[in-house]
Amino acid sequence: MYARVENGQVTQIGLPTTGTLKDGRTVSNYNLLPKDILIKEGWLPCEEIKPEITETQYLEIDTKEIVKGKVIVTYKAVEMPTF
């Protein structure tokens, strides 16, 4: 998994299947581009930290942190609403 970083901020998590390169070209199978091109385009490898959840919980992004050439995404468990 990769995350896009622009101006020191994480702007997107997960590669699109179709995307536009910085030079304006549109690329099908963008998600299959080589690592070196993705990094040039502002994408960094992404590490996810997920807690265990129960049947009544779901995961929600808690923090996104850029550390040593990668993005660490930490999730938290959130209780599903009851009706």
Q: Per residue in 70-83, pLDDT tens?
A: 999 999 999 998 88
Per-residue pLDDT tens over the stretch 13-68? 999 999 999 999 999 999 999 999 999 999 999 999 999 999 999 999 999 999 98
Give the pLDDT of residue 42: 94
Which residues of 1-79 form beta strands (DSSP E)?
2-6, 9-13, 18-20, 26-28, 43-49, 57-67, 70-79
| Backbone torsion region of residue 8, taken as left when φ is above 0, otherwise alpha when ψ lies between -120 and 50, otherwise beta | left
Give the pLDDT of residue 83: 80
d(CA 58, CA 33): 31
Confidence of residue 12 (pLDDT cuts 50, 70, 90): very high
